[in-house]
Structure 1
Amino acid sequence: MEDIAGPPTENGASIAVQIVLSAPFPMVLTDPRLEDNPIVFVNRAFEKATGYSAAQAIGRNCRFLQSAKTDPKTVQRIRDGIAKGEEVSADILNCREDGSPFWNRLLIAPLRNEQGEVQYFFGVQKVLGEPPEAEADEKLNFMLREIQHRVKNHLMMVVGLIRLHSREDVPAEAFEKLARRVETLQLLYEELNASGGENRDAVALGGYLSRIVNSLSELGGGGSLLVDLDIDSFTVPLEVAVNCGLIISEATTNAMQHAFVGREAGHIRLSVHENNAGDMRVELADDGVGMPKDAEWPNNSSLGGRIIQQLAKSMDGTLRMASGPRGSVVTLRIPRIKRD
Structure 2
Amino acid sequence: MSDSAQRKLSAVLDDREAVAGFSRLSVAVVITNPRAPDNPIVYVNEAFERSTGYSRAAVIGRNCRFLQGERTEKSDVDRIRAAVQAGRDVTVDILNYRASGEPFRNRLIIAPITDEDGAPVYFLGLQKEMRSGEAGEDDIDAHLGALRARVRDDLSMILANLGAPERRRSLDDPLHEIEALPRRLECLELAYEEMRLTDGQAGRAGIDIGALLSRVASTIAHHEGRPGVRFTAQVDQIEIGLEAAVRVALVASETLSNAFTHAFAGLDRGYVGFRVTRLGAGGLRMTVSDDGVGIPRNIDWPSAATRGGRLIASLLEGLDATINVARGAAGTVVLVDVPVDPQELDNKGD
Q: Judge same fold: TM > 0.5, yes or no.
A: yes
Q: Hey, what does 1:281 align to over in structure 2?
A: 285
Spell out the pairing of 1:260-279 with structure 2 (5 A cutoff): 260-275=264-279, 277-279=281-283
CA deviation map 1:294-330 (0-9, x unaligned): 4433345555434322321221111111232254321
* Equivalent AA in structure 2 for residue 182 of structure 1: P
Q: Hey, what does 2:345 align to over in structure 1?
A: 339
Q: Distance in 2 between matches of 1:263 and 1:339?
A: 43
Do residues 254 (structure 1) and 262 (structure 2) align? Answer: no
CA deviation map 1:207-246 (0-9, x unaligned): 3333333333344432322221111223433433333233
Shift in CA distance, 146/232, structure 1 to aligned 2, threshold 3 Å: farther
Q: Does structure 2 retain, via aligned residues, the 8 Å contact 1:184–1:212?
A: no
Decide which of 58, 69, 75 is 2:65's aligned counterpart: 58
For residue 116 of structure 1, give the secondary structure of its aligned residue in structure 2.
coil
Shift of 1:80: 12
Q: Distance in 2 between matches of 1:221 and 1:197?
A: 28
Moved more, 272-281 or 193-202: 193-202
* Equivalent AA in structure 2 for residue 154 of structure 1: L
* Equivalent AA in structure 2 for residue 339 of structure 1: L
Q: Hey, what does 2:312 align to over in structure 1?
A: 308
For residue 275 of structure 2, give the secondary structure of its aligned residue in structure 1.
strand
Q: Does structure 1 retain, via aligned residues, the 8 Å contact 2:31–2:122?
A: no
- How many percent identity over aligned positions? 25
Q: Hey, what does 1:27 align to over in structure 2?
A: 30
Q: Hey, what does 1:164 align to over in structure 2?
A: 172
CA deviation map 1:165-215 (0-9, x unaligned): 49xxxxx9xx27x62243121243145246534349954433333333333
Q: Does structure 1 retain, via aligned residues, the 8 Å contact 2:302–2:310?
A: yes
Shift in CA distance, 199/282, structure 1 to aligned 2, threshold 3 Å: farther
Q: Hey, what does 2:326 align to over in structure 1?
A: 322
Shift in CA distance, 163/127, structure 1 to aligned 2, threshold 3 Å: same
* Equivalent AA in structure 1 for residue 220 of structure 2: L
Shift in CA distance, 266/142, structure 1 to aligned 2, threshold 3 Å: farther
Shift in CA distance, 326/61, structure 1 to aligned 2, threshold 3 Å: closer
Greater RCO, 1 or 2 (C-alpha within 8 Å, sep 6+): 2
Shift in CA distance, 305/81, structure 1 to aligned 2, threshold 3 Å: closer
* Equivalent AA in structure 2 for residue 284 of structure 1: V
Q: Distance in 2 between matches of 1:333 and 1:210?
A: 18
Decide which of 122, 125, 128 is 2:127's aligned counterpart: 125
Q: Does structure 1 retain, via aligned residues, the 8 Å contact 2:255–2:288?
A: yes
Q: Distance in 1 between matches of 2:303 and 2:40?
A: 37
Spell out the pairing of 1:135-154 with structure 2 (5 A cutoff): 145-151=149-155, 154=159
For residue 198 of structure 2, give the secondary structure of its aligned residue in structure 1.
coil
Q: Hey, what does 1:227 align to over in structure 2?
A: 231
For residue 268 of structure 2, give the secondary structure of its aligned residue in structure 1.
coil
Shift in CA distance, 148/128, structure 1 to aligned 2, threshold 3 Å: farther
Q: Distance in 2 between matches of 1:303 and 1:163?
A: 11
Q: Does structure 2 retain, via aligned residues, the 8 Å contact 1:39–1:58?
A: no
Q: Hey, what does 1:13 align to over in structure 2?
A: none
For residue 172 of structure 2, give the secondary structure of its aligned residue in structure 1.
helix
Q: Distance in 2 between matches of 1:259 and 1:123?
A: 36
TM-score (norm 1): 0.61
CA deviation map 1:62-102 (0-9, x unaligned): 9x778xxxxxxxxxxx99998996557x7x86656488776
Q: Does structure 2 retain, via aligned residues, the 8 Å contact 1:278–1:336?
A: yes
Shift in CA distance, 47/86, structure 1 to aligned 2, threshold 3 Å: same
Spell out the pairing of 1:67-146 with structure 2 (5 A cutoff): 87=89, 97=97, 104=107, 107-112=109-114, 115-118=117-120, 121-127=123-129, 131-132=134-135, 145-146=149-150
* Structure 1 residue runs without a partner (length 5+): 1-22, 32-37, 67-77, 167-171
Q: Distance in 2 between matches of 1:294 and 1:79?
A: 47
| Total equivalences in the alignment | 299
Decide which of 221, 231, 249 is 1:245's aligned counterpart: 249
Shift in CA distance, 150/182, structure 1 to aligned 2, threshold 3 Å: farther
Q: Distance in 2 between matches of 1:324 and 1:51?
A: 48
* Equivalent AA in structure 2 for residue 132 of structure 1: A
For residue 226 of structure 1, give the secondary structure of its aligned residue in structure 2.
strand
Q: Distance in 2 between matches of 1:148 and 1:276?
A: 36
Shift of 1:260: 3.3
